[in-house]
Structure 1
Amino acid sequence: MIKALENAIAAFSSWIWDWPLLILLVGGGLFFLIFSRFTPFLYFRHAIDILRGKYDHENAPGQLSHFQALSSAIAATVGMGNISGVAIALVMGGPGAIFWMWISALIGMATKFYTCTLAVMYRSESEEGTTLSGPMYVITKGLGKRWKPLAVFFALAGLVGTLPAFTANQLTQTLVDVLDWKDSDKFYVGLVLAGIASFVILGGIKRIGLVASRLVPFMVALYFITVFAILILQIDQIPKMFVLIFSDAFTGEAAAGGALGYLIKTGVKRAAFSNEAGIGTAPMMHGTAKTNEPVREGLVAMIGPAIDTLLVCTLTALAILSTGVWQHSDDNGISLTLQAFNSVLPYGIGDGVVIIMVLVFAFSTLFSYSYYGVTCLGFLTKPKYGKYYNYIYIISIVVAAVVKIDFAINLIDSAFALMAIPTVASALLLAPKVNKRAKIYFDTIKAGKK
């Protein structure tokens, strides 16, 4: 029965991630890019100023500062998708998949601007005074009550898409590989991970935001130092790797069956998992930002894909490609990344560094994703009942630790695809309202009034 379920989910994931959904994500992102006339990109420096706290107001509605909101969103995206997901993209699609991840990220920046601006424009508040946000609230408040079935559809898919299947699975696999444990130990690893994660996620959004704001700068800095060390040692290979990425991007020679279409789909899928642009999770976090100006949080949200896909994923890809392990290894996911690091760094250092990074990256993701599920369950029932999702989430960490990686990937990919449909559709319908709000804000900036 389990095998039949795995096969069914794999078939569904393959079907739904074919051209219709790619047209929705890429086509929708291109629409946002053109419809905005690239204007938000001109205010990237202003976005950095917002992130630095220049426009923070303690009494503004919301729960997290701009920095905490972005940190929490990045904590969910800069995780196993950047270490393990890139390796999967290279194995499944070849070097050219990285190019399509870049394209998807650039387009995704425009998508993030619209979806996260809308998240603040149409957020709500619970009876307890906490901020409620996300595509389901955008749909019901922005489009009206008759669209509620679409909001319910998103929330139901979100209950599955926010499960820690991929992250817990790959973190467990790392510990088993590095510490030379047996597969039978995965269950006990899952129990320990669940115990640690529960201390943070049961503390609610404010504790998650606080922990994320401390973890994210540390984990990004540590990762940069490590990967830059590898790239310096492999410096003569780097130009060749960029040539390989660009040349393979339009031929698909290294992809399955040499199919260009498969290559593009692989790149877009892994980019979606990396930066979540158009999926709908990030708006739930960005919507809690303490601000009176929705456009400000939209600008801050744009920084996310630039960091997690254009920067971090590229570094991971270059580290793996420059070592050549992807060409002569049967490993996939985190095991391949680990092999790449160990092939260059002195004995033992690769294992140690990877395990530290994976622990930090994975836990930051586990903490943030729980809040998304809480928000979805709170919408489907009542906000005060959303917290009970945390217990389902904690149990699922143990289950995810022992399942096969293919099952974990297909399950999350399927749920992400379903979540993207209402997220992008509602953003497309409400895009003119974002433009109207953005014009007022940008005109005020030009006039020097903000």
Structure 2
Amino acid sequence: MSVAEYLPRIESALNQFADAMWSTPLVVLLVGGGLFFAIYSRLQPYFYLGHSVAVLRGRYDDPSAPGQVSHSQALSTALAGTMGLGNISGVAIAIAAGGPGAIFWMWVTAVIGVATKFYTASLAVMFRGKDSLGETQGGPMYVIREALPKGFLPLAYLFCLAGMIGTLPVFQANQLIQLLRDAVAIPSGWASADSHLGFDFIASSCVALLTVVVIIGRIQRIGRLTVRLVPAMVTIYLLFTAFVLFQYIEQIPAMFALIVTDAFTGQAAAGGALGTVIMIGVRRGAFSNEAGIGTESMAHGAAKTEEPIREGVVAMIGPVVDTLVVCTCTALIILLTGVWQDPDAGAGVTMTAAAIESVFPSGGIYLLILMVALLSFSTIVTYWFYGAKCLGFLIGAERQHYYTPCYIFLIVLGAVVSLDVVNGLLVGVYAIMAIPTMISSFMLAPKVNAAARHYFKRLREGQFD
């Protein structure tokens, strides 16, 4: 049997794996866990979102504090990892598979994800550890090693093994090259629908080369890059979306009503199953903002601070910007233009591109290409940092450079891999990563609450002024 004949079986097996991992128990773990954190904290962190803005503006920065990057660079790096193609392609996938109601459940994951991020990021700083080279590191694996009994250490290894796979660049590369191929290469005659391997290889090789240029500077260079890219990307996308929304301003209330009503009826989902809508929305929401997954904790754990709660407050902004703002913008563009009901609109980034072209038939697609390129590239360089740190934990930081050539090769390979294979593998592995992260966060939540009470008391008393 040829590879082409095996491919459908592989796709089916990986999609079954993803569905099995994202079954009811994991949804309860993430959504129920986030709700637990919100209630257990008595919603107190939600009242300090304003404080997080002051922290991001550098008011509390201490260059001599342990860590590698500033608060703003840590958040930008975390957002660069979460605010990738999931915000453009992932939203389209959610709507195509689960209907408009899936967006509502993405919102739910974001709202309760604020509390989850507060706990996981606080723990990432509170229980930082030293790698084999003596450098301070943060993340769920170090939280487990430093704060839990040794019997829980296998959870740290599980997280790292899943993290090395879950942060591979194949999804980002796949969707970026697909958009470039459909919007630029084929219309220009550089490739065709049936013959595009040469273009895919050249384009993905260029992306790989640019990635090497950035990652040789490690987290410091990644932080400097993302702290410039992320705010610019969000601003451009919001301005772009505002123009689209203005064209359909009278229909916006009806679209929000459709999202909410469909969330509880599931009539737009395949088979009309409400459970399907919830599963798809939660799955894509977790894939988008990563609350409870744990990868972004590695970025927040690198922040220059001696106050764990301060970084926890900063991390809360992530789901707000990523899912409640950017993902909602994408969803409204797709729903307002009606392309989600067009069977010929395609899936993933192709559907989003069709929506953009319906409003901007001449130049809109090129703006989308720019956004996708920036989003996917920032995610690719951030994911390298996550994967390398996971490998460093497993075999030693002095050997983590072995991860780089494999990672770069997969950028090229990802451009020609089936999206179904990529999506099933990454979504399934993301679920595995959540298990060690959430278990350790539940066990250590009392320590976060105690630290939060102390920190917020000092803040109210003006001890940080």
Q: TM-score range by the shorter chain?
A: over 0.9
Q: 2:364 aligns with which of 339, 350, 355?
A: 350
What is the DSSP-based 3-state SS (H/G/I as helix, E as strand, rest coil) of the residue aligned with 1:60? coil
Residue aligning to 2:3 = none
How many Å separate the matches in 2 of 1:77 and 1:374?
Answer: 17
**Structure 1, unaligned stretches of length 5 or more?**
none
How many Å separate the matches in 1 of 2:125 and 2:403?
Answer: 24
Cα deviations by residue, 1:67-117 (Å, 9 ceiling, x for unpaired) = 000001111111101011111111001001111000110011100000010
Q: 1:157 aligns with which of 155, 162, 178?
A: 162
Residue aligning to 1:53 = 58
Residue aligning to 1:298 = 312
CA contact (8 A) 2:10 2:421 kept: no
- Deviation, structure 1 residue 388: 2.0
Greater mean deviation of Cα atoms: 82-91 or 184-193: 184-193
| Equivalent AA in structure 2 for residue 110 of structure 1 | A
Within a 5 Å distance, the mapping from 1:420-439 to structure 2 comes to 420-439=434-453
Q: 2:302 aligns with which of 281, 284, 288?
A: 288
Greater mean deviation of Cα atoms: 118-127 or 408-417: 118-127
Residue aligning to 1:393 = 407
Residue aligning to 2:219 = 205
CA contact (8 A) 1:165 1:412 kept: no
Q: 2:138 aligns with which of 127, 130, 133?
A: 133
How many Å separate the matches in 1 of 2:20 and 2:68?
Answer: 39
| Equivalent AA in structure 2 for residue 337 of structure 1 | T
CA contact (8 A) 1:63 1:130 kept: no
- Deviation, structure 1 residue 389: 1.1
Cα gap change, 1:433 to 1:250, in 2 (>3 Å): same
Greater mean deviation of Cα atoms: 2-11 or 144-153: 2-11
What is the DSSP-based 3-state SS (H/G/I as helix, E as strand, rest coil) of the residue aligned with 1:322? helix
Greater mean deviation of Cα atoms: 179-188 or 275-284: 179-188
Moved over 6 A (4+): none
CA contact (8 A) 1:202 1:390 kept: no
> Is 2:429 aligned against 1:415?
yes
- Deviation, structure 1 residue 127: 5.4
How many Å separate the matches in 1 of 2:362 and 2:387?
Answer: 38
> Is 2:268 aligned against 1:263?
no
> Is 2:199 aligned against 1:194?
no
| Equivalent AA in structure 2 for residue 152 of structure 1 | Y
Residue aligning to 1:337 = 352
- Deviation, structure 1 residue 448: 1.6
CA contact (8 A) 2:245 2:333 kept: yes
CA contact (8 A) 1:329 1:336 kept: no
Cα deviations by residue, 1:30-88 (Å, 9 ceiling, x for unpaired) = 11011000000011111111111110011011000000000011111111010111111
CA contact (8 A) 1:230 1:319 kept: yes
How many Å separate the matches in 2 of 1:130 and 1:76?
Answer: 22
Greater mean deviation of Cα atoms: 189-198 or 78-87: 189-198
Residue aligning to 2:180 = 175
How many Å separate the matches in 1 of 2:82 and 2:57?
Answer: 20
How many Å separate the matches in 1 of 2:302 and 2:283?
Answer: 27
What is the DSSP-based 3-state SS (H/G/I as helix, E as strand, rest coil) of the residue aligned with 2:462? coil
Cα deviations by residue, 1:423-443 (Å, 9 ceiling, x for unpaired) = 001100110111111111111
Within a 5 Å distance, the mapping from 1:239-258 to structure 2 comes to 239-258=253-272
How many Å separate the matches in 2 of 1:81 and 1:382?
Answer: 31
CA contact (8 A) 2:141 2:157 kept: yes
- Deviation, structure 1 residue 240: 1.2
Q: 2:22 aligns with which of 17, 34, 37?
A: 17
Greater mean deviation of Cα atoms: 414-423 or 192-201: 192-201
> Is 2:121 aligned against 1:116?
yes
How many Å separate the matches in 2 of 1:386 and 1:274?
Answer: 27
- Deviation, structure 1 residue 203: 1.9
Question: Identity percentage over the alignment?
Answer: 53
- Deviation, structure 1 residue 144: 2.5
| Equivalent AA in structure 1 for residue 312 of structure 2 | G
How many Å separate the matches in 2 of 1:303 and 1:279?
Answer: 16
> Is 2:23 aligned against 1:8?
no
Cα root mean square deviation, aligned: 1.1
> Is 2:312 aligned against 1:312?
no
What is the DSSP-based 3-state SS (H/G/I as helix, E as strand, rest coil) of the residue aligned with 1:250? helix
How many Å separate the matches in 1 of 2:136 and 2:386?
Answer: 13
Q: Normalised by the size of structure 2, how large is the TM-score?
A: 0.95
Within a 5 Å distance, the mapping from 1:352-391 to structure 2 comes to 352-391=366-405
Residue aligning to 2:245 = 231
How many Å separate the matches in 1 of 2:212 and 2:8?
Answer: 30
CA contact (8 A) 2:87 2:288 kept: yes
- Deviation, structure 1 residue 385: 1.4
Residue aligning to 1:323 = 337
| Equivalent AA in structure 1 for residue 352 of structure 2 | T
CA contact (8 A) 2:101 2:266 kept: yes
How many Å separate the matches in 1 of 2:97 and 2:462?
Answer: 50
| Equivalent AA in structure 2 for residue 273 of structure 1 | F
CA contact (8 A) 2:132 2:396 kept: no
How many Å separate the matches in 1 of 2:131 and 2:442?
Answer: 27
How many Å separate the matches in 1 of 2:359 and 2:12?
Answer: 37
- Deviation, structure 1 residue 129: 4.9
Within a 5 Å distance, the mapping from 1:42-81 to structure 2 comes to 42-81=47-86
How many Å separate the matches in 2 of 1:212 and 1:387?
Answer: 22
CA contact (8 A) 2:131 2:393 kept: no
